[in-house]
Amino acid sequence: MIQVLFVCLGNICRSPMAEAVFRHQVNKAGLDAVIAIDSAGTGDWHIGHPPHQGTRDILDQYQINHKGLIAREVKSDDFVQYTYIIAMDQSNVTNLASFAPALVEGEKRAAIHKLLDFAPDRTDKNVPDPYYTGNFQKVYEMVEESCERLLAFIVEKENL
Ligand code: 4NP
């Protein structure tokens, strides 16, 4: 099983959006049995909360299921369990470091990427935070495009 974890700050706006969109794409590609998906935040303020209303509204608009999504915090075990950790911006990558467990020789670790590393046409590699900007539409478009490319990358890399 390939495991993909999307990470942002609060786990209520960007990473649950990416989780829902990516799950939708993985399902359409017939790969649900081989790719498992979750999301988490580096902040603990919203643990147990559903996604932000703005994220739920935009997902509803595109008929993407978001039922059952509940915010959780990143945990050190994620680095061992997941194949890929996909961060929304550079500050998430920096914050992730404080959750990483001590290195164990020979142990496999998640590969950490930024989502917009998979959007070659974009020069700014950080997904803007709609919690502050209010622009959930723009974030949706970035997430949709780059998740498609992430899926293509994983399919090729993992020989799916
Ligand atoms: P997210 O947005 O990282 O995309 O989920 C945020 C949500 C909540 C907060 C910050 C960012 N907050 O400070 O509560």
- CB distance 131 to ligand 1 below 6 Å: yes
**Does 147 qualify as catalytic in the annotation?**
no
Q: How is residue 143 written in tokens?
A: 């997430």
Q: For the domain covering 2-157, report its CATH number.
A: 3.40.50.2300
Q: How is residue 63 written in tokens?
A: 């008929």
pLDDT of residue 32: 97
Residue ranges covered by each domain of the chain: 2-157
Q: Which of 27-31, 41-45, 102-106, 135-139 is least confident?
A: 102-106
Residues 133-145, mean pLDDT to the nearest whole number: 98
- CB distance 129 to ligand 1 below 6 Å: yes
pLDDT of residue 43: 98
Q: What is the mean pLDDT of the chain?
A: 97
Residues 68-94, mean pLDDT to the nearest whole number: 98
pLDDT of residue 82: 98
**Does 14 qualify as catalytic in the annotation?**
yes
Mutating to test ligand 1, I would choose from 6, 46, 131 the residue with most ligand atoms within 8 A of its C-beta, which is 131
- CB distance 9 to ligand 1 below 6 Å: yes
| Residue of 38, 56, 129, 147 marked active site | 129
Positive or negative: CA dihedral 66, 70, 73, 75: negative
| Residue of 13, 14, 38, 78 marked active site | 14
Give CA–CA dist 99/101, Å, rounded. Answer: 6
Work out the pLDDT band at 42, boundaries 50, 70, 90.
Answer: very high
Of 113, 105, 122, 120, the residue nearest 7 (C-alpha):
113
pLDDT of residue 111: 98
Work out the pLDDT band at 96, boundaries 50, 70, 90.
Answer: very high
**Does 109 qualify as catalytic in the annotation?**
no
Phi and psi, residue 113, nearest 5°: -130, 160
Residues 42-54, mean pLDDT to the nearest whole number: 98
Give CA–CA dist 137/142, Å, rounded. Answer: 9
pLDDT of residue 23: 98
Work out the pLDDT band at 67, boundaries 50, 70, 90.
Answer: very high
Nearest CA to ligand 1 atom 6: 10
Does the pTM of the predicted model rise above 0.95?
Answer: yes
